[in-house]
Amino acid sequence: GKVEMQAVGAGAVNQAVKAVAVSRGYVAPNGINLVFVPSFREVMINGERKTAIRLLVQQR
């Protein structure tokens, strides 16, 4: 399967990347290799346009 995560701001992006790293540790003993593909996405927050980082997390 695939999971999509979005984060806005340096702290949120840091936490999202760490979450993927921790998740890899949980599933690796079962032979699952998780990878993520980052991209940029424009989002509206409180009427303001922000740039978000999108992480597409999937099994390789």
Per-domain boundaries in the chain: 2-59
pLDDT digits (tens, 9 = 90+) for 26-55: 999 999 999 999 999 999 999 999 999 999
Q: How far is CA 32 from CA 4, 39, 57, in A?
A: 18, 23, 12
C-alpha 34/C-alpha 20 separation (Å) is 8
pLDDT in tens, 9-25: 999 999 999 999 999 99
Instruction: Please provide residue 6's backbone torsions phi and psi, each rounded to the nearest 5 degrees.
Output: -125, 145
pTM for the full model? Answer: 0.86
pLDDT number for residue 1: 85
Q: At 35, list the tokens.
A: 């990878």
For 2-59, CATH gives 3.30.110.20
